[in-house]
Amino acid sequence: MSIYDTLNEQQREAVYQTEGPVLILAGAGSGKTRVLTHRTAYLIEEKGINPYHIMAITFTNKAAGEMRERIDKIVGFGSESIWVSTFHSSCVRILRRHIDRIGFDTNFTIYDADDSKSLMKDICKRLEIDTKIYKEKSFLAAISSAKDELITPTELMQRALTSSDYAKRKQAEVYREYQEALHKNNALDFDDLIMKTVELLQSDPEVKNYYQERFHYIMVDEYQDTNTAQFELIRLLAGKYQNLCVVGDDDQSIYKFRGANIYNILNFEKHFPDAKTIKLEQNYRSTQNILNAANSVIANNVGRKSKTLWTANDEGKKIDFEQFNTGYEEADYIARDIAGGVRNGDYHYGDYAVLYRTNAQSRLFEERFIVSNIPYKIVGGVNFYARKEVKDLLAYLKTIDNARDDLAVRRILNVPKRGIGATTVNRVSDYAESYDISFYDALKRADEIPSIGKAASKVKPFVNLIQVFRSKLEFISISDLLREVIEETGYVKELEAEGTDEAEARIENIDELLSKVVSYEESEEHPTLSGFLEEVALVADIDSLEDDSDYVVLMTLHSAKGLEFPKVYLAGMEDGLFPSYMSITSDDSSEQLEEERRLAYVGITRAMKELTITCAKQRMIRGETQYNKVSRFVKEIPLELLGGKAPVVSRKESDSSIENTWNVKPKRMTMRQQPSGQSMQARAFASVHTKEEKLPYDIADRVLHTRFGEGTVVAIVEGGRDYEVTVQFDTVGIKKMFASFAKLKKL
């Protein structure tokens, strides 16, 4: 029996249909991703295709890794030479080789959202735009959607000129400036990665030919969420052999807000007239009840491609629907339910996922889970690599690696404080501009810049520091380099001295960064600093999910796409939250509501065995209490599928008592890679320090600090749970710290 016998008939057809354009259109859990994996294996194993000629595009880096792994399990060889990656990573790979042909240096830097924003701020300042009226964010949004549609600054300007909209013209102008600035910095933003690749392939026949000849077979997962630029990219790459297989579900298109164009999938047969369409109809993931619920919700959308979806699985339990008075009770219920399920041996923590519409909702669950000692991991929110402390240290590494990223250099020039302020930065910047050199090169010539005067003496040590690191680069490992950066800059020391929970969380993140460097070094045969920085630039939070770890996963519905869990909670199912207030009130409300409904469909279909839907009558949203009705999507589920342990009854006895027991606040930053519940809780409690009755020192006493050395106490302020002590140190100056952290010794 071959492995292809584990597929059903339609799936097998999709696997065997290797030639020409193919659209696999199918509902959730029908094995689309599985088909792609087997199809790739089939190409290699049965068709004798060289893995080198196969490209597979996935939605996340994690999915790419998994696909490669599974192919490897089936075929046993060659999987490493298949091109499996996301759109963004693929483009970076192509551009690193060939972008010089369109006027960039191949070691361009990639700007993340933060970087783009600071660049935009500069530009608005330069163009004297009143950012109270025209917001940076709105410019960035306009530029981003232009790029998703492959619209150049010139084209945008032309469009703007035909309308009399002043704002549009401003946008086009800013777009042009923004692109020029990026070019000058030899940088690309996220959307550029795709657009520039398309530009490259369109303008350079040689490069286009090279890649067309490389990719004989191309496959794209989650095709319903591709945008116009990505479509064009695929069309170009597949232009020669036309062996393009796309896989998707129009009912799961949920990324319109970032440019996804559902017509890519709806019109696939028009784009590729000889396309073969294959539909998969059997769902292997969920129980009948769950599938029925999902089907009845999505049936309320119009203009869908017709699809059947059935399952041979059991009917399963009814969907547990619970309404609570507050979000606290909701979180409490879910926490108890999980704890109970694990206690009974029904599930492991890792079988559970809590899904919600907005990241802000994670907070209540986090607080509750800490109290209940439930191990969890929050996916999403602020990307790990976007956190201040991580970005600071990465900026050091970037600057050491090559100081061409002006933004990175500027970021760390005064971190830690070196007494270099905005004025100096601007003057150096002007100087760099007028001599057409990089910011860092200008810093090196600080003495020659007349306008900065004595500030030059402050810049010198910084440049020296970087040069010293550079000279070490070839002798020490990346992790040791990072350790030295941390040591020399006193970054962690400073945080330690702060002594707050937040600072502690930042230190943990820095440790985490260190271990990521170490694991990069271990995984790579020839680890390089540039290689590490590259890897780090495009990771999404979801990539850090580990399958074999035993923790409850909390994430937004968007992040959950493509995943599955034995038991799923859909929390906050309230009108105004989900569907969101924005979608209900906007002027193209019906369209937006359909997208929200698709999101609900995605959420419901993540569940394999059990689904719990919860909502709260009242909920705190940005400091205000909102009263919400049960989500319309819940009402679209037939009543007979719903059950509930305590449906729609208010539970008096738990009213206020719950809120009052919640006094353990989680740290401000979500920890990465939640360890076991036990140590998590231990740490959470460890941060609640007890105030000492009386301090062993007083104002004007001489004291000793483990890091800062000797100093004199200048002030002691009694705070809520601790004393805040201000000390004038002999060497490092004045520092404020909490007594219980600083552990000062009286001399």
Ligand X SMILES: Nc1ncnc2c1ncn2[C@@H]1O[C@H](COP(=O)(O)OP(=O)(O)OP(=O)(O)O)[C@@H](O)[C@H]1O
Catalytic site includes residue 612:
no
Catalytic site includes residue 594:
no
Point out the catalytic residue in the list 115, 222, 232, 320.
222
Cα angle 462, 464, 470; round to 5: 110
Nearest approach, Cβ of 639 to ligand X (angstroms)?
A: 26
Q: 404: which DSSP letter? A: T
How far apart are the C-alpha atoms of 539 and 425, rounded to whole Å?
Answer: 31
The region of 3-11, 162-170, 397-405, 409-417 touching ligand X under the rule CB under 6 A is: 3-11
Q: 744: which DSSP letter? A: -
Site membership for ligand X, residue 32 (CB under 6 A): yes
Task: Select from ligand X, DNA, none the partner in contact with residue 40, using the beta carbon and a kind-dependent cut-off of 5 to 8 Å.
Answer: none
Nearest approach, Cβ of 360 to DNA (angstroms)?
A: 6
Closest residue to ligand X using C-beta atoms: 31
Please indicate if the annotation marks 455 as binding a ligand. no
Of the candidates 227, 295, 559, 605, which one interacts with ligand X according to CB under 6 A?
A: 605
User: Which residue lies nearer to ligand X by CB, 72 or 701?
Assistant: 72
User: Which residue lies nearer to DNA by CB, 482 or 602?
Assistant: 602
User: Which residue lies nearer to DNA by CB, 15 or 364?
Assistant: 364
Q: How many CB atoms lie within 10 A of CB 476?
A: 13
Name the strand (E) or helix (H) holding 18: none
Q: Is 80 exposed, middle or buried (0-12, 13-18, 19+ CB in 10 A)?
A: exposed
Nearest approach, Cβ of 433 to ligand X (angstroms)?
A: 49
Please indicate if the annotation marks 29 as binding a ligand. yes
Point out the catalytic residue in the list 18, 32, 197, 424.
32
The region of 25-33, 88-96, 445-453, 730-738 touching ligand X under the rule CB under 6 A is: 25-33
Residue pair 110/193 in contact by the 8 Å Cβ criterion: yes
User: Which residue lies nearer to ligand X by CB, 286 or 399?
Assistant: 286
Point out the catalytic residue in the list 136, 192, 199, 221.
221
Of the candidates 10, 21, 29, 671, which one interacts with ligand X according to CB under 6 A?
A: 29
Q: Which residues contact 13 (CB under 8 A, 6 or more apart)?
A: 278
Phi and psi based region of residue 356 (left: phi greater than 0; alpha: psi -120 to 50; beta: remaining): beta
Nearest approach, Cβ of 541 to ligand X (angstroms)?
A: 19
Q: How many CB atoms lie within 10 A of CB 682?
A: 12
How far apart are the C-alpha atoms of 356 and 603, rounded to whole Å?
Answer: 9
Point out the catalytic residue in the list 170, 516, 606, 619.
606
Point out the catalytic residue in the list 10, 11, 33, 326.
33
Which of the residues 250 through 289 are near ligand X (CB under 6 A)? 252, 284-285
Whether the bond between 21 and the residue before it is cis, its omega within 30 degrees of 0, is no
Q: Which residues contact 105 (CB under 8 A, 6 or more apart)?
A: 99, 186, 404
User: Which residue lies nearer to ligand X by CB, 251 or 320?
Assistant: 251
How far apart are the C-alpha atoms of 547 and 535, rounded to whole Å?
Answer: 21
User: Which residue lies nearer to ligand X by CB, 129 or 599?
Assistant: 599
Q: 580: which DSSP letter? A: B
Q: How many residues lie near ligand X (CB under 6 A)?
A: 19
Cα angle 407, 410, 416; round to 5: 135
Nearest approach, Cβ of 532 to ligand X (angstroms)?
A: 31
Please indicate if the annotation marks 656 as binding a ligand. no
Which x/- pattern, by CB under 6 A, does the window 543-582 give for ligand X?
-------------------x-x------------------
**What percent helix, strand, coil does the chain show, rounded to 5?**
55, 15, 30
Catalytic site includes residue 606:
yes
Amino acid found at 89: S
Task: Select from ligand X, DNA, none the partner in contact with residue 622, using the beta carbon and a kind-dependent cut-off of 5 to 8 Å.
Answer: DNA
Catalytic site includes residue 332:
no
The region of 7-15, 362-370, 399-407, 711-719 touching ligand X under the rule CB under 6 A is: 7-15
User: Which residue lies nearer to DNA by CB, 346 or 546?
Assistant: 546
User: Which residue lies nearer to ligand X by CB, 31 or 572?
Assistant: 31
The region of 5-13, 99-107, 124-132, 475-483 touching ligand X under the rule CB under 6 A is: 5-13
Point out the catalytic residue in the list 252, 326, 399, 670.
252
How far apart are the C-alpha atoms of 398 and 124, rounded to whole Å?
Answer: 26
Handedness of CA 178, 179, 183, 188 (dihedral sign): positive
Beta-sheet pairing, 642-643 with 319-326: parallel
Residue pair 263/153 in contact by the 8 Å Cβ criterion: no
Residue pair 231/264 in contact by the 8 Å Cβ criterion: yes
SS3 97: helix
How far apart are the C-alpha atoms of 305 and 252, rounded to whole Å?
Answer: 12
Q: Which of 422, 397, 423, 424 is nearest to 409 (CA)?
A: 397
Task: Select from ligand X, DNA, none the partner in contact with residue 28, using the beta carbon and a kind-dependent cut-off of 5 to 8 Å.
Answer: ligand X
How far apart are the C-alpha atoms of 224 and 265, rounded to whole Å?
Answer: 5
CB half-sphere exposure, 633, CA atoms < 13 A: 33
Which x/- pattern, by CB under 6 A, does the window 284-313 give for ligand X?
xx----------------------------
How far apart are the C-alpha atoms of 440 and 436, rounded to whole Å?
Answer: 12
Site membership for ligand X, residue 11 (CB under 6 A): yes
Of the candidates 8, 212, 673, 687, which one interacts with ligand X according to CB under 6 A?
A: 8
C-alpha Rg value of the chain to the nearest Å: 28
Catalytic site includes residue 221:
yes
Strand partners, 624: 621
Task: Select from DNA, ligand X, none the partner in contact with residue 34, using the beta carbon and a kind-dependent cut-off of 5 to 8 Å.
Answer: ligand X
Phi and psi based region of residue 214 (left: phi greater than 0; alpha: psi -120 to 50; beta: remaining): alpha
Please indicate if the annotation marks 318 as binding a ligand. no
Q: Is 514 exposed, middle or buried (0-12, 13-18, 19+ CB in 10 A)?
A: middle
User: Which residue lies nearer to DNA by CB, 362 or 479?
Assistant: 362
User: Which residue lies nearer to DNA by CB, 225 or 332?
Assistant: 225
Strand locations in 432-541, DSSP E?
none
Please indicate if the annotation marks 146 as binding a ligand. no
Please indicate if the annotation marks 720 as binding a ligand. no
The region of 22-30, 199-207, 494-502, 640-648 touching ligand X under the rule CB under 6 A is: 22-30
How far apart are the C-alpha atoms of 411 and 395, rounded to whole Å?
Answer: 7
Catalytic site includes residue 32:
yes
Site membership for ligand X, residue 249 (CB under 6 A): yes
- The site for DNA (CB under 7 A) is made up of 60, 86-88, 113, 121, 132, 135, 137, 190-191, 254, 257-258, 357-360, 380, 383, 414, 417-424, 455, 538, 540-542, 555-556, 558-559, 580, 582-583, 592, 620, 622-623, 668, 736
Nearest approach, Cβ of 260 to ligand X (angstroms)?
A: 15
Of the candidates 33, 90, 628, 681, which one interacts with ligand X according to CB under 6 A?
A: 33
Interaction site with ligand X (CB under 6 A): 6-8, 11, 26, 28-34, 249, 252, 284-285, 562, 564, 605
Binding residues: 26-33
Binding residues for ATP: 26-33
Which amino acids are annotated catalytic?
A: 32-33, 221-222, 252, 606
